[in-house]
Amino acid sequence: MTALDITSEDATLETAPTRYIEGRGIRFAYRRLGPSTGTPLVLLQHFSGNIDAWDPAVVNVLAADRPVIAFDNAGVGRSTGQTPDNVAAMARDAVAFINALGISEVDLLGFSLGGCVAQQIAAEHGRLVRKLILVGTSPKGGEEHLLAVLQEAFSQTDAPDPRLPLFFTTSSASRSSGLAFLKRTQVRKDDRDTDNGSAVTDPQAKALITWCATPDPEHAMLRAIRQPTLVVSGSHDTMLPANNAYAMFKELSNAQLVLYPDSGHGALFQHHEIFVSHVRTFLHA
Amino acid sequence: MTALDITSEDATLETAPTRYIEGRGIRFAYRRLGPSTGTPLVLLQHFSGNIDAWDPAVVNVLAADRPVIAFDNAGVGRSTGQTPDNVAAMARDAVAFINALGISEVDLLGFSLGGCVAQQIAAEHGRLVRKLILVGTSPKGGEEHLLAVLQEAFSQTDAPDPRLPLFFTTSSASRSSGLAFLKRTQVRKDDRDTDNGSAVTDPQAKALITWCATPDPEHAMLRAIRQPTLVVSGSHDTMLPANNAYAMFKELSNAQLVLYPDSGHGALFQHHEIFVSHVRTFLHA
């Protein structure tokens, strides 16, 4: 429990030092916020994202009453190792990270590709995972439009950041909350995480596309998940549509579904206040 | 504002006096809880239900920080008048009741048939309704299995109350929360509301079945609703399935969807703590 003994109650995502820990031969970069006791909430990041791609408005508020851990999985950001091209290996690496921290039980919040990894971990490690939060993600064999949407987003050369068209809708409300989100992610200046190149995004894209292209007609993966699960999506997620969330809700044995209006893949950042309230209610219940 | 001047902050659904007010020639029975200021939340009851069919665990907690008004619509319980056989007339009567109270803006929580009435009011009275909560209900032209499910429920002669099979699933967790719900509704002994007979349930059944049998392929009713809306359903609602809720979410311009696990038509009573938290977050946002 060495790592958890470091109290970091006053730290925020913007101010917490980046720490490092070794597991399975990988040196994992991570930040830890919130109290030193309680079930830690481990965040599993989206395609191409690093630690600084999380929204402080979500992470800091969740850390007000529980430990929250953001990390770079193998090969991502400032973690060493190779980024695997499949979800199962990403889950194996994430578990190695959690084991290295000496934590015996976690809650998981997986966003997008991170949600696939979270499903895999929850299905395989029933005792390690207490509760599961799946945001903007897909079941195995689900619907994805990753490449088409990425291509469209990167063709918008006037966008200040590809996440604006990727994560938010074209409504002025969604766009303006998108700009506010981007601003929040840029507050930290020192000790920022490293941006990811194609050595990360190529295998990650392959992992996500393969996950969705692998049929699971009997929903074996979802049915292996016994943990209470909160499934969240935006109404107009163009990459991994809300239909995925509804389908997961129907097949999971103990799931709550929350869908937000006028929102895309980044619904959790757009509706951060309501999202945090829903997560706290779910984790507390 | 006479009626609202009566402060009833300490009253609960079980202890509040039943009051009466006249509008459109109908003498409406109602109870009013919570503070004397704030936008009142008006409750629209399900098929066959009276004021005492609401769950004190929902109503009393919601009334902790807002006025909450439960009432019998025309012909129901101890209200005078005829129960209409169509949703539009029920909406007209409910608006007459709200007008009689001198209230210019309300939030509406409509459950089941009450959710149909709430949709009609919100669509027709854009200024009267601030926010809308639709629970276990159907859009116009939606899916209902009222008669089949009622027949099945009333054939279970060993059930202590038809609401047990109608509102809860067959799981032991759902059944036991159903028994707890029934117990909560039976705490009030004096000044209880009158049970409804076929003069109420026959026209109400016709209204609900007609509402669902009336196609609205362009979703004109839902598209006329501009208020922020929270749509809620149980995962295994046998009467008005969760598909209705998902369909409403997709067509409404500004809706949030929340679906609960292992729950039937009475999901709001089974998951009352989480439901109240979701309602408060929604009304507060």
A16-57 per-position pLDDT tens digit: 999 999 999 999 999 999 999 999 999 999 999 999 999 999
Task: Spell out which residues of chain B touch residue A252, defining contact as CB-CB under 8 Å.
Answer: 261
> From residue A131, how far is each of A71, A233, A242, A276, B233 by CA, in Å?
18, 17, 21, 15, 22
pLDDT digits over B224-282, tens only?
A: 999 999 999 999 999 999 999 999 999 999 999 999 999 999 999 999 999 999 999 99
A259:B257 CB<8 A: yes
B257:A255 CB<8 A: no
The radius of gyration of chain A from alpha carbons, rounded to an integer in Å, stands at 17
Alpha-carbon distance of B3 to B32, in angstroms, equals 9
Q: Which of B252, B255, B258 sits opposite A257 (nearest CB)?
A: B258
Residue of B nearest to A257 (CA): B259
Other residues' Cβ atoms within 10 Å of the Cβ of residue A238: 18
- Cβ of residue B281 closer than 8 Å to a chain A Cβ: yes
pLDDT digits over B138-194, tens only?
A: 999 999 999 999 998 888 878 789 999 999 999 999 999 999 999 999 999 999 999
pLDDT score for B157: 78
> From residue B182, how far is each of A246, A256, B174, B175 by CA, in Å?
31, 24, 12, 11
- Cα of B262 to nearest chain A Cα, Å: 7
Task: Spell out which residues of chain B touch residue A274, defining contact as CB-CB under 8 Å.
Answer: 256, 281-282, 285
pLDDT score for A9: 61
> Mean pLDDT of all residues in chain B?
95
- Cβ of residue A15 closer than 8 Å to a chain B Cβ: no
Confidence of residue A157 (pLDDT cuts 50, 70, 90): confident
User: Is the Cβ–Cβ distance between A97 and A71 less than 8 Å?
Assistant: yes
B281:A274 CB<8 A: yes
Alpha-carbon distance of B236 to A72, in angstroms, equals 39
Confidence of residue B2 (pLDDT cuts 50, 70, 90): very low
Q: What is the token pair recorded at A136? A: 């903007």
Residue from B19, B110, B26, B20 nearest B74 by CA: B26
- Cα of B47 to nearest chain A Cα, Å: 26
Q: What is the token pair recorded at B15? A: 């202890």
A250:B262 CB<8 A: no
> ipTM score here?
0.94
Average pLDDT value for residue range A136-162: 91
CB neighbour list of residue A65: distance below 8 Å, 6 or more residues apart: A34, A35, A38, A280
- Within chain A, what is the greatest distance between any pair of CA atoms? 48
Task: Spell out which residues of chain B touch residue A256, defining contact as CB-CB under 8 Å.
Answer: 258-261, 274
pLDDT score for B153: 86
Alpha-carbon distance of A216 to A222, in angstroms, equals 9
> 3-state DSSP call for residue B253?
coil
> 3-state DSSP call for residue A230?
strand
**For testing the chain A interface, which of B132, B177, B230, B246 should be mutated: the one with the most A CBs within 10 Å?**
B246
